[in-house]
Amino acid sequence: MVFECRLFKRACCSGARYSERMGPMRWRPLYLGLAGLAAVGVLILLWVLVHRTLIEPAAPRDAVTSREAAAPRQATPSKAADASKKTASELFVDDAAKDDGSRDPTAEGAKSPVGETFKADIHLYFVAAEGRHLVAETRTVMRSADPVAFGRQIVLALLEGPRTKAGRSLPEDTGLRAFYLGEDGTAYVDLDATVSRRHPGGVTLERLSIYSLVNSLVLSCDAIRAVHILIEGQEARTLAGHIDLQRDFNANMLIIK
């Protein structure tokens, strides 16, 4: 009995020492698990910060959501069906009764520009036959040394329409209300409401209309670096319901065929 009691006592003492020595080790897996979760949380937080600071500002602003974009004009289903059968050049010809033709879109530019004039080539961009790109039409004109007068001359020539087989890029009878040039090289082109009211719509044609104006000005006049489009003297949300106009546009070479 005495021997058995000594063995039992020794076993109990050994178990107590083992528990004291291994006690902290039991919680090590839990500590490691919590540290792993904390590391994952830090990585997720870093990814969110990088996404907000680097990726989101680089997103293009060309397309605006249908909730934000207030379309100036919505085509009726019957008119949209008829428009799908027309070419790009025919879409910009108003289907209403035409006037007697007395209105000359270049009449506003017929006034003699102030200052010296000389021969120069301008590059006007119109809609290609396939309706997805712009094509250049080069014209030799007597340009003004004044960049503002020269910019007006380019816009009026573009509104006149193409002299080749290319299609119109802006609706017929669109008028130029004013043209300004900022000190930073940004040209402000103020068009009348016809450009929105008679636009056939569609994101592709809307983009072509905008960049035909932008490319014609930026690539023809060295003093112009960007273009800002106004309608009736005001900033418009969109031209025909898709592309944000409340910003400056730079030349787009990728859209040229």
Q: Quick check: helix, strand or coil at residue 226?
A: strand
Q: In whole angstroms, how far apart are CA 240 and each of 63, 70, 191, 203, 210?
A: 12, 9, 14, 8, 10
- Distance between CA 65 and CA 4 in Å, rounded? 86
Place of tokens 């790009």: 88
User: Exposed (0-12), middle (13-18) or buried (19+): which is 100, by Cβ within 10 Å?
Assistant: exposed
* Domain edges within the chain: 30-59, 77-91+112-255
Question: Running DSSP on this structure, what letter comes out for residue 54?
Answer: I
- Distance between CA 169 and CA 123 in Å, rounded? 14
pLDDT of residue 50: 66
pLDDT (tens place) for every residue of the chain, 257 residues total = 554 555 555 655 555 555 555 555 566 677 777 777 888 777 887 777 766 665 444 444 444 433 344 334 433 334 433 443 444 445 454 433 344 444 443 334 334 445 678 888 999 999 999 899 999 999 998 988 899 999 999 999 999 999 988 999 999 999 999 999 999 999 999 999 999 899 888 889 999 999 999 999 999 999 999 999 999 999 988 888 888 898 999 999 999 98
CA diameter of the chain: 131
pLDDT digit string, tens, across residues 144-177: 889 999 999 999 999 999 998 899 999 999 999 9
Cα 218-223-227 angle, rounded to 5 deg: 45
pLDDT of residue 54: 55
pLDDT of residue 220: 94
pLDDT of residue 39: 80
- Distance between CA 11 and CA 52 in Å, rounded? 63
Cα 243-248-250 angle, rounded to 5 deg: 95
- Distance between CA 218 and CA 246 in Å, rounded? 18
pLDDT of residue 124: 96
